Chains A and B, each alone.
Chain A
Amino acid sequence: MLLLEYYASDHWLARIDARIKLLVTLIVLVMVLSYRGVGFQLLVAALSLTLIISMKIPWRLFLLRFSEPFLIVLVVFLLKVFFSGQEPLFSFGVLGFQLTGYREGLAEGIAIGSRIMAAISLMAVLVYATPFPELMAALSWLKVPRGFIEILLYAYRYIFVLFEEAMVIYQAQKNRLGYANFRNRLSSFGILTGSLILKAFEQSQTLSTAMVQRGYDGNMPLFQSRPFRSSEIFLSCLVVTVMGILWRI
């Protein structure tokens, strides 16, 4: 498992309030999803990718993040090109089957592909420019229920602990040929996940005891946000307005 967490703390975007970034991202995301065409989406993708490159994201991380969406784009594109539409554009034979690409399918495939790339790169900008606790505080400001945010914080904290535990068990099982055949694999995987659940139960008991001793009353304190700066508000309004105009064109 790779948690592709990276925070470009030196970038100018990282200094902008997380609430503003989240709000602008959501508005532009809605524009991307509701736009009927390709131009606006390609523009958003290009802008976002430029911002990501300016954040000096390691190339490996960049490729890992975008490889899966790219694969999905490819599959959806193929499905659309070969199975949607009426007007044949090209045709060729594979393994004795005749494959025909359709004009309408090609157009739809490009539209969906550009939409996915725009949305993915937009989200990447937000995540690379905002640390997780600030993102949670911004979600709280957007009135996302507090109970859910607390669950997110607990989960985020313990993913690393439990993952380390899972890897130790997995390696031990693998070294003892626990995944040598399908039957062993079933048994080993059941034990691995069962042990994880047991560990989670034990950790939660320890954690809650420790928290109660420190005055936990059922609600976790969240990151306190600072007041908005006028420059941030101006910049966000400008971005949303420009994007809105481009979306309408």
Chain B
Amino acid sequence: MKKVKCGFVIALISGVSLPQNAAAMHIAEGLLPFNWAAFWFAVALPFFAWGLYRLNKRSREDLSFKPLVGLMAAVVFIISCLPIPVPFAGTCSHPCGTGISGILIGPAISVVITAAALLIQALFMAHGGLSTLGADIVSMGVMGSFTGFLTFRALRSVKVNMAVAAFVSGLFADWATYFMTSVELAAGIRGEAAFLPLFWKVLIAFIPTQLPIGILEGAMTAGMVVLLYKKRPDLLIKMRVIKAREVAVIGAVLIALTIFFSGVAPAEASKWTGVDEAVIEKIAKEQGREPKEPLINIEQGDLPLFIFLIAGVVGGFAAGYYWRVLIAGKGLPICRGQDEPGPETSGKIRGS
């Protein structure tokens, strides 16, 4: 019992200290013995091959797909390198980013994206390694992407709100990644010891940072999906995250509401009187002071149209007279010829 308690203390201490500046979900180079490293490569290989097959198929249909996948790999790389202060733990950690790539690009291609990001991190940042690439692909790529994708699809199929579905998928993707990492670590380093006790110790070690970072990853995933939905729903349709029908239905509802309110508002507005009529004129009448006719009644004839025409002519004349000042900017001389280069462009070839 005492040993278990000590284990908890050490696990907590290591959990707080391990990810201080580290990519904690990456299993370090050389940590796994050869047989386990080979085993995880074998597990990752079919998923990777499937991802490559899907990638080649889609890039034959759309030439812009490979650059997009490459850029998504760069995004996953950056997200999994951004240090985020973790509350309660007093340390930094970072999300995985594989949940969102699974949702957007699909889980199979997301495995390829993760493998690319992991390989660059292993080579240039010593996060993970070549020998542990298989294990890292399984935990981050396979578990993260598939959990994120399946959770999102399952929740959307029962009509759960998009932001909530994205949040839960990001959360589960992150936790699934760390669950798998704990399995891999415990299996790889246990030696002759029993698997389960070591697995629990490693899992406990991850809890202080990964519990809150999972929530952060969920929020990040939700934020991303909602932002894309608001700004570029066409991309979500292209990525098959949502169907065009969904956007069409929402668009139709919005248009209908706009038409309804724009039609109803003027009719309703005519029933309402302003404060001038309702209060001031009423009290003035009660005091025996009837309103007088205005000297120039602009409601008669086409007087407003005439005033508008005069304003247009004056404004147009002024704009035409000072157009160089308006176009060239305040500080530049008005009479510079078009062929003369501006001061910031002379002597340089720009944009090369």
Chain A residues within 8 Å of B, Cβ to Cβ: 1-5, 26, 29-30, 32-34, 65-69, 71-73, 75-76, 78-80, 82-84, 94-95, 97-100, 104, 108, 112, 115-120, 123-124, 127, 132, 135, 145, 147-148, 150-159, 161-163, 166, 170, 179, 182, 185-187, 189-191, 193-198, 200-201, 203-205, 207-209, 211-212, 216-218
Contacts and interface: CB of A to CB of B under 8 A. Distances in A.
B74 A159 contact: yes
14 contacts: A72-B31, A75-B17, A82-B7, A104-B191, A120-B126, A155-B73, A185-B216, A186-B216, A189-B220, A193-B97, A193-B224, A194-B227, A204-B67, A216-B63
B68 A135 contact: no
Given A119-B129, A194-B223, 19 more contacts: A3-B125, A33-B37, A68-B126, A68-B127, A80-B189, A94-B9, A95-B9, A108-B191, A119-B30, A123-B29, A132-B123, A147-B112, A151-B66, A151-B113, A158-B71, A197-B72, A200-B74, A204-B67, A208-B68
B73 A154 contact: yes
Given A119-B30, A123-B29, A204 B126 contact: no
A106 B9 CA distance: 19
**Majority DSSP secondary structure for residues of A touching B:** helix
B124 A3 contact: yes
Interface stretch (B81-89, B245-253, B273-281, B285-293): B81-89
B81 A198 contact: no
A127 B71 contact: no
Given A97-B9, A193-B79, A218 B74 contact: no
B157 interface: no
Given A30-B34, A123-B123, A152-B119, A200 B56 contact: no
Contacts of A34: 33-34
Contacts, number: 273
Interface of B: 2-3, 5-7, 9-11, 14, 17-18, 20-23, 28-34, 37, 52, 55-56, 59-60, 63-64, 66-75, 77-79, 81-82, 84-85, 87, 97, 100, 104, 112-113, 115-117, 119-120, 122-127, 129-131, 189-193, 197-198, 201-202, 205, 215-216, 219-228, 231-232, 235
B20 A71 contact: yes
Nearest to A158: B74
Contact of B67 (A104, A195, A207): A207
Given A1-B82, A147-B52, A162-B78, A154 B70 contact: yes
A191 to B, nearest CB: 6
B111 to A, nearest CB: 11
Contact of A154 (B74, B84, B126): B74
A155 B223 contact: no
Give 3 nearest A-B pairs by CB, closest first.
A190-B223, A154-B70, A119-B30
* Among A104, A127, A157, A190: residue with most chain B CB under 10 A: A190
B220 A156 contact: no
A211 B124 CA distance: 27
Nearest to B5: A97
Instruction: Please indicate which of the listed interface residues B6, B28, B63 has the most CB atoms of chain A within 10 Å of its own CB.
Output: B28
Contacts of A205: 64
Contacts of B18: 71-72, 75
